[in-house]
C-alpha cells in the first residue's frame, strides 16, 4: 500500500513542498509513481523521512544529509563512513543536550529563588 503526498504530509508533519524539495535535492530517494504519475510513498519511504527529520533536528546541514543518503545508496561497503558521520553528529547532539541540561538547571534555580521570595511575601500579615 502506498500513501499519497497529502497523506504522507499529514502523517509525517512535513509539507508537500518540503517533500518535493527533499526529493529534488537528493535528500530523499526518488518516489515511485502510479500509472497516472502520482507520487506513492511506501513504508520504507516513511523511514527515510523520519531519518532525514531526525538528522535535520540535530542541525545537520542538507548537504551532509545528502552525503549520508548517497553513502546509503552505495550499500554496505559504506557502513563505516556512515557510522563515522552519525557518531560525529551524535557527539554534537550530546554536547547540545549537556548545554541544555545546564541551562535548565540554571532556570530551575532562578525559579526556585523566585518561589522562595514569593513565599516570604505571602506569609506577611
The answer to whether residue 15 scores a pLDDT higher than 80 is yes
- The Cα–Cα gap between 65 and 52 comes to 7
pLDDT at 59: 92
Within-domain flag for 42: yes
Output the CA torsion 17→23→29→31 (10° steps). 60
Helix runs in 26-78, H state only: 43-57, 62-73
- Give me the domain span that covers residue 12: 5-89
Within-domain flag for 77: yes
Within-domain flag for 52: yes
pTM: 0.76
Within-domain flag for 116: no
| Contact call for residues 1 and 34 (beta carbons, < 8 A) | no
Label residue 39 by pLDDT band (50, 70, 90): confident
Count of other CB atoms within 10 angstroms of residue 90: 12
The answer to whether residue 124 scores a pLDDT higher than 70 is no
CA-closest candidate to residue 52, choices 63, 37, 38: 63
Within-domain flag for 10: yes
Within-domain flag for 111: no
Q: What is the mean pLDDT of residues 101-122?
A: 88
Give the chain's domain count. 1
Query: In the predicted model, what is the mean pLDDT of the chain?
Result: 90
Q: What is the mean pLDDT of residues 96-121?
A: 90
Within-domain flag for 117: no
Could you tell me the CATH number of the domain that includes residue 33? 1.10.1660.10
Within-domain flag for 48: yes
DSSP single-letter state for residue 40: E
Amino acid at each position: 500500500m502506498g500513501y499519497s503526498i497529502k497523506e504522507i504530509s499529514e502523517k509525517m508533519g512535513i509539507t508537500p513542498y518540503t517533500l518535493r524539495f527533499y526529493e529534488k535535492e537528493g535528500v530523499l530517494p526518488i518516489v515511485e509513481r502510479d500509472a497516472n504519475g502520482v507520487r506513492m510513498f511506501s513504508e520504507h519511504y516513511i523511514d527515510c523521512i523520519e531519518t532525514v527529520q531526525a538528522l535535520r533536528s540535530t542541525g545537520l546541514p542538507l548537504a551532509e544529509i545528502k552525503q549520508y543518503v548517497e553513502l546509503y545508496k552505495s550499500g554496505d561497503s559504506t557502513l563505516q563512513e556512515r557510522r563515522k558521520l552519525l557518531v560525529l553528529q551524535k557527539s554534537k547532539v550530546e554536547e547540545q543536550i549537556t548545554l541544555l541540561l545546564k541551562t535548565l538547571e540554571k532556570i530551575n534555580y532562578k525559579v526556585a529563588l523566585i518561589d522562595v521570595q514569593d513565599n516570604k511575601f505571602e506569609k506577611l500579615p
